[in-house]
Chain A
Amino acid sequence: AQSVTQPDIHITVSEGASLELRCNYSYGATPYLFWYVQSPGQGLQLLLKYFSGDTLVQGIKGFEAEFKRSQSSFNLRKPSVHWSDAAEYFCAVVGYSSASKIIFGSGTRLSIRP
């Protein structure tokens, strides 16, 4: 069965520091992977997605993610975080029969230290 694991429940980084949020997936074929962000009191917004091609994917708000098949990972990175990046981040993979049924990880809450 397909699954997504986000091992870090809560991360705190200082403003201006670099960020990496971890995501591991389990899927029998080439996955379709997503990162979503949920700001407090808001719905989810797509940051970036990987379908195929270049394994380094650029997204909105200065985020990027790298697909590593050998490690079954799709980690999210940002070189310098801003206070406005404080939010919850969800990694997701398209499910077994696909057709847009996305399976979400449990989320990582990001706090920013002034």
Chain B
Amino acid sequence: DADVTQTPRNRITKTGKRIMLECSQTKGHDRMYWYRQDPGLGLRLIYYSFDVKDINKGEISDGYSVSRQAQAKFSLSLESAIPNQTALYFCATSDGQGGGYNEQFFGPGTRLTVL
């Protein structure tokens, strides 16, 4: 079984709809991240969480919100989706031990299309 899972894998929605992307991990990591990937732009950090009570904005948090329901679960919400949020979304986790400079493990991605 995959260590980091994302649901759904693909989603098509309409402008103005609320949508939630979910991420679960079995690695026991305390740190979780949400990124979006756009062609030619690499990955950009949306939100990150270092533990259940810790939520931080990343580089491009406007239009997004997150919820850390448990150590293993981190959800990303688009309250009112717009077409320029069409992208590939990745969840990642890392271990907070050793000063934090640790490898991030990525989920398979969710391809979101907003019409």
A residues neighboring B (CB under 8 Å): 4, 9, 32, 34, 41-46, 49, 51, 90, 94, 98-102, 104-107
Contact = CB atoms under 8 A, between A and B. Distances in A.
B101 A51 contact: yes
The binding surface of chain A is classed by DSSP as loop
A101 B108 contact: no
B5 to A, nearest CB: 10
Contact of A100 (B31, B41, B90, B109): B31
B48 A101 contact: yes
Contacts of A90: 42-43
B100 A105 contact: no
A99 B99 CA distance: 7
A11 B66 CA distance: 37
Interface of B: 4, 31, 33, 40-45, 48, 50, 58, 90, 92, 94, 96, 100-104, 106-109
Contacts of A43: 4, 90, 106-109
A67 to B, nearest CB: 15
A104 B90 contact: no
B101 A105 contact: no
A101 B58 contact: yes
Given A32-B101, A98-B101, A99-B50, A104 B43 contact: yes
23 contacts: A9-B40, A42-B108, A43-B4, A43-B106, A43-B109, A44-B90, A44-B92, A44-B104, A46-B103, A46-B104, A90-B42, A90-B43, A99-B50, A100-B31, A100-B96, A100-B101, A100-B102, A101-B45, A101-B48, A102-B104, A104-B43, A104-B44, A106-B42
B66 to A, nearest CB: 15
A25 to B, nearest CB: 13
A106 B31 CA distance: 24
Nearest to B90: A43
Given A43-B106, A43-B107, A107-B42, A99 B90 contact: no
